[in-house]
Structure formats: C-alpha cells, structure tokens
Amino acid sequence: MSKIKEKILSLIKDLPEDTTSEEIEDLIDLLYIKKQVLEGLEDFRQDRSYSLEEMKSLSGKWKLESQKRPNDS
C-alpha cells in the first residue's frame, strides 16, 4: 500500500466518532489542495513550469483574446 494511502486511512481512522459531514468536506478540500500543491511541485522539479516572463507574455495574449470576444451580457 502506498504511503499516501496509508496516511489517508490513518487520518480517517483517527477521526472522532462525532465528526460532522462539514468537517469531512473540509478534510476532503484540504486533501485536494495538498494534492494540487504536490503535483505543482513535481511539475516544477520536472521543469514543466513557466518563467515570469513567459507568464507575462501569456497573460497579455489572454487579455487581448478576451477583449476581442463580444460581450455575452
């Protein structure tokens, strides 16, 4: 069994019996955020990221594209 799966199972087992559904939803949200951060870090390690200059260029292109679209209102 993977370490991540073991940690999640342990976390679930350690939850108090009176844990509310809202608390479980919060936990799921936190797990999702952690997953996204870990994937982002791995992308960075594998050089699958953009430099600041590349992002500035891309955001400028996105801005121009959004200005070309007709208003949907």
- Measured in whole angstroms, the distance separating CA 6 from the mean position of its chain's CA atoms is 21
Nearest residue to 19 via CA among 11, 31, 30, 7: 11
Q: What would the pLDDT profile of 23-68 be if each residue is shown by its tens digit? A: 999 999 999 999 999 999 999 999 999 999 999 999 998 988 888 8
Question: Taking the complete model, does pTM exceed 0.75, yes or no?
Answer: no
- CA–CA distance, 42 with 37 (Å, rounded to integer): 9
Q: Scan for tokens 């292109």, then name that residue.
A: 61
Under 8 Å between Cβ of 8 and 31: yes
Under 8 Å between Cβ of 23 and 31: no
